[in-house]
A and B are shown apart, each in its own frame.
Chain A
Amino acid sequence: MLEPTAIDALVLRAQAGDQEAFGALVMDFEWPVRAWITARCPAGADADDVAQTTFVEAFKNLGRYQVGSDFRTWLFTIARYQVMAELTRLRRLADYHERYFPHALWQELERRALMMDLRDDERLTALRDCLAALDDDDRALLTQRYSDEMPLRQMAQLRQRSEGAIKKSLFQLREQLHTCLIRRLRSEHP
């Protein structure tokens, strides 16, 4: 991450119309912003679109940012607006509610969207480390589920296992990653 003085120097250049400088800011804040937004958007929301909109809004309003104040906080205030707006949009989207999403979890996401806890990029980094420590077959299983969004039935057919076995593997892998994540975060912030 860039130092605050380096960030402000880029902001000053971007305010003067230097596109390359803003590109450098996007590069520096890409993962913190994407992680923070993804962690607060339910499945079905386009978190990357919200993240892009955040940067576009930041660029449009760059003139309002006062150099010397905290750019990270300012940027995440915009991200918070965008996430709240996305949650409101989804809440009003009739077809979104055709799929089940626990009301209490929804309220929890809204509560988190109002909190300025900015450590999700640390979690993401730790999670990547934990994923790297898995064996290849386990990582491939998670990739099919989370990246390829493959239905359980198809995964079961592909691996010649029952759906129940696939569910159980996913459950165990999530538990394993959770434990790994807690351990890594605790070692960084004892």
Chain B
Amino acid sequence: MTAADESMTPALAELWSQFLDGALEAGQAAELEALLRADPASARLAGEHYVEHRLLSLALQREAPGRFVTATLSRMAEEGRSFSQRVQQRLTPLQPTLVPAPAPRRRTPAWFAPTAAAALIAIITAGSLLYTHSTRPAQESAPATLVATLVVADHCVWRGTPRETGERLASGELELAAGTALVRCDGGAELLLSGAVAVRLESGGSAACSHGSVTVRAAKPVAGFILRTPVAEISDLGTEFAVTVGDGGITEVQVLEGGVEWRSRSAAAADPGTLLHQGQAVRVRSAEDRIGEPLPVTAVRLDAQLERIETGAPNAALISYDGFSYGFPTTISRRKDANGGTGWRSAWFRSQQSNDLVIDFTPDASLAMPDDLLPARGGRMELPSEPERPGTYREACMRLFAQPIAMARDGVRYVSLLVCRSAVASGPTHWWFRCMLTSEMVPDDRIGFGILSNGCPELMSHFGNSQAEQPIVDGRPYLFVFKLVTGRRSPDQAFLKVYGQHDAIDMHEPSSWTVAGVPCHFDGVLGSIHINNGTERAYSVDELRIGMTWQSVTPRRNTH
């Protein structure tokens, strides 16, 4: 008799029915939990019934025949087109072109009315052929693909190219002589490298380790991350595992959470491999070893290793700061007295350093920082509305920073700024906000972030804009954290993360951004910051930081 043939006890059946109907009360939930935990047979039976429950949803789903196939093929074509666009972009480095923002990733299927299959196939073939056939030539002739980000580097001594925290990493060798580094692959997996270790980043979803210790944690719903060693291939099944490669490629695999599948390098591709579950470990001695030798699990969890890391004093990497602690409510550009903070080459001014345009502050009233961060002190800068003024924008508040950013050099900069949009509008249309890093010589060379009139955060450059889907709430402060990656040979790219006051602030650079900008190439030198708004909505800003690390622009309460 199988589990499916058995019957639930009346008590379990009653609770189960309530659970399926979403009508379980708290006490009943505890009771159901206890029944399922106490009896593995009941849990298996519940599993059988849950399968039926889920299949019932599928069987009753209303959809036109062929919609799934059409939507799947359409998605393949869409991904193929984005791929070919990326290839084209890499093949024409350093030539500014307007690149459309990538379509946001849909979590729901892109259902649409079915069209004739033949017509669809014809439409998608062009894109997919590029996808299939352009891969190899593009990879051979184009610069290496960016596949990961160096999120944390603690006392790292690199062999070969020195690396910088926040740097985007191309596919290829990454060799650490000492220290600890956290690498986040674009496919979502995180690799913690410790001590002397050599890995080759193959793609956003795979890497090879030739010696040393790596701890891998999956972080996103992607195909299983694959780590290859000289003797084995380990596939992640949504998990955390540690791998150590010793002399002769001898590989130890320890599963810290979930499960992995490993197979020896000599095994055929169709070989299903061996499953290892949490708490299991194995030593693989050669590429022909298909069984492995059991081991105790001794590896330390990735989070525990990260906790030991000293990320350094945040202020050490802070380049420019202004907390807007000014003792006056207004000044004019010509006075040059709004010159607080550190790391600046000028006082605040509007358009020109010697005009009489007013700059507004609210002394002794800061915006509220997110709960995890050091509170703001002093006052804030105001960007009032000007409904009586014709035109769409106010003259920007500007300031020159001490360390200009050369876009043609490899580097990473972070900017954070508290922004609050007034709950009151003085007109119907021009409600936007912008904070741009701008070239002093070529004003069109600029990149930055802002808020659209509809309230959605946005990344902007003259190469194209990308916007978030969720608007901010008027009258509430938000911390905008902007990251700019610049490169000599690799594309420049900006990222934006927006936090509300009660959001948990990521300890390290986040794995997902509110908006990721369009990869682009330009060589300008950005030397000033411009902050302005539309004429029909007031904004307040506070706590402006420019730094070289994530931590330097998100100083936490417990670090001071």
Please state if A19 and B121 are interface contacts (CB–CB under 8 Å).
Answer: yes
Q: Which residue of A lies closest to B205 (CB)?
A: A57
Contact between B59 and A128, CB atoms less than 8 A apart: yes
Is chain B's binding surface mostly helix, strand, loop or mixed? helix
Q: Which residue of A lies closest to B120 (CB)?
A: A23
Q: Which residue of the partner chain B has the closest CB to A167?
A: B21
CA A112 to CA B268, docked complex, whole Å: 25
Interchain CB contact under 8 A, B33 and A146 = no
The answer to whether B69 touches A56 (Cβ under 8 A) is no
A81 near B46 with CB under 8 A, answer no
Query: Which chain B residues lie closer than 8 Å to A104 at the CB level?
Result: 33, 36-37, 43, 46
Contacts of B235 in A (CB 8 A): 81
Asked whether B52 lies within 8 Å of A69 as measured between CB atoms, the reply is no
Interface core residue of B50, B61, B72 (most chain A CB under 10 Å): B72
Residue on A nearest B51 in the bound complex, by CB: A39
Cα–Cα distance between A65 and B269 once the two chains are bound (Å): 7
Q: In chain B, residues 191-248, which have Cβ atoms closer than 8 Å to a Cβ of chain A?
A: 218-224, 235, 237-239
Q: C-beta contact mask, B45-65 vs A, less than 8 Å → 1, else 0?
A: 011011111111111111000
Report yes or no: A56 in contact with B268, Cβ–Cβ below 8 A. Answer: no
| Given A30-B69, A48-B109, A102-B36, A114 and B59 contact (CB-CB distance below 8 Å) | no
CA distance A66 to B124 in the complex (A): 25
Q: How far is the CA of A59 from the CA of B80 in the complex (A)?
A: 11
Query: What residues of A have a CB within 8 angstroms of the CB of B19 in the complex?
Result: 100, 102
Q: Contact: A84 with B69, CB < 8 Å?
A: no
Q: Let me know if B24 and A100 touch, CB within 8 A.
A: yes
Q: Report how far A117 CA is from B44 CA in the complex, Å.
A: 14
Minimum distance in angstroms from B144 CB to a CB of chain A: 19
Q: How far is the CB of B342 from the nearest CB of chain A, in Å?
A: 37
Interface size on B, residues (CB 8 A): 73
Q: With A17-B129, A78-B223 in contact, is A152–B55 under 8 Å at CB? A: no
Given A52-B109, A56-B72, A109-B47; A174-B223 close (CB under 8 Å): no
Q: In this complex, what residue of A is CB-closest to B117? A: A23
Bitwise interface map of A from 138 to 163 toward B, beta carbon under 8 Å scored 1, else 0? 00001101110000100000000000
Determine if A105 is an interface residue (Cβ-Cβ < 8 Å): yes
In the complex, A7 has a CB within 8 A of chain B: no
Is B17 among interface residues, defined by CB-CB distance under 8 A?
yes
Chain A contributes a number of interface residues (CB within 8 A of B) equal to 80
Q: Is B76 an interface residue (CB 8 A)?
A: yes
Q: Does B20 belong to the interface (CB within 8 Å)?
A: yes
| A109 to B46 alpha-carbon distance, docked (Å) | 10
Contact B57 A181, beta carbon cutoff 8 Å = no
State whether the Cβ of B23 lies closer than 8 Å to any Cβ in chain A.
Answer: yes
- How far is the CB of B61 from the nearest CB of chain A, in Å? 6
Q: In whole angstroms, what is the CA distance A107 to B54 when docked?
A: 16
Q: What chain B residues lie within 8 Å of A51 (beta carbons)? A: 68, 72
Bits for B246-286, please: 1 = Cβ < 8 Å to A, else 0.
Answer: 00000000000011000000001110100100000000000
Chain B neighbourhood of A84, CB < 8 A: 224, 237-239, 258-259
Q: A49-B108, A107-B43, A108-B43 are in contact. Are A102 and B218 (CB under 8 A)?
A: no
Give A157 to B277 CA distance when docked, in angstroms.
Answer: 49
Which residues of chain A have C-beta atoms less than 8 A from B79's C-beta? Answer: 56
Q: Which residues on the B side are within 8 Å of A55 (C-beta)?
A: 72, 76
Given A77-B272, A114-B259, A34-B58 contact (CB < 8 Å) = yes
In the complex, how many angstroms separate the beta carbon of A178 from the nearest chain B beta carbon? Answer: 6
Flag whether B5 is at the interface (Cβ < 8 A): yes
User: A145 vs B108: C-alpha distance in the bound complex, in angstroms?
Assistant: 20
B17–A171 CB distance below 8 A: yes
Q: Hey, which chain B residues are within 8 Å of A53, CB to CB?
A: 221, 223
- CB-based nearest A residue for B126: A19
Which residues of B lie under 8 Å from residue A34 when comparing CB positions? 58, 68
Closest to B273 in A: A77
**A105 lies within 8 A of B46 (CB):** yes
Does B559 have its Cβ within 8 Å of any Cβ on chain A? no
Q: Which residue of the partner chain, among B58, B222, B269, B272, contacts A64 with CB atoms under 8 Å?
A: B269
Which one, A65, A73, A120, A143, contacts B55 given CB within 8 A? A120
Please measure, in the bound complex, the distance between the C-alpha atom of A40 and the C-alpha atom of B22, giving whole angstroms: 19
Contact B4 A182 (CB under 8 A): yes
Given the contacts A39-B51, A88-B238, A123-B51, A102 and B33 also touching, CB distance less than 8 Å = yes
Residues of A near B62 (CB, < 8 A) are 143, 147
Q: Which residues of A contact B18 (CB under 8 A)?
A: 167
B-chain residues with CB within 8 Å of residue A127 when the two chains form the complex = 52, 55-56, 59
Chain A residues with CB below 8 A from B125, complex form: 19-20
- Asked if A105 and B43 sit within 8 Å, CB to CB, the answer is yes
**A103 interface hit (Cβ, 8 Å):** yes
CA distance A28 to B224 in the complex (A): 24
Bound-state CA distance A69–B267 (Å) is 13
| A85 at the B interface (CB under 8 A) | yes
Q: Cβ of B46 and Cβ of A59 under 8 Å apart?
A: no
> With A102-B32, A104-B36, A114-B275 in contact, do A43 and B222 touch (Cβ < 8 Å)?
no
Residues on the B chain within 8 Å of A108, using CB: 43-44, 46-47, 50
Q: Is A12 an interface residue (CB 8 A)?
A: no
Alpha-carbon distance between A49 and B59 when the two chains are bound, in angstroms: 17
- Known contacts A17-B129, A70-B270, A167-B17; A81 and B224 CB within 8 A of each other: yes
A-B contact list, 14 entries, CB within 8 Å: A20-B121, A26-B73, A30-B68, A38-B58, A42-B54, A43-B57, A49-B108, A55-B72, A66-B269, A84-B259, A85-B238, A102-B29, A104-B33, A107-B43
Which 7 pairs of residues, A with B, have the shortest CB-CB distance? A88-B238, A69-B270, A104-B36, A108-B47, A84-B238, A81-B224, A89-B221
Given contacts A105-B47, A145-B21, A178-B4, 7 further A-B contacts (CB under 8 A): A20-B121, A69-B269, A78-B223, A89-B221, A112-B47, A120-B51, A152-B21
Contact surface of A with B, Cβ cutoff 8 Å: 17, 19-20, 22-23, 26-27, 30, 34-35, 38-43, 46-53, 55-57, 59, 64-66, 69-70, 73-74, 77-78, 80-82, 84-89, 92, 100, 102-105, 107-109, 111-112, 114, 116, 120, 123-124, 127-128, 131, 142-143, 145-147, 152, 167, 170-171, 174, 177-178, 181-182, 185
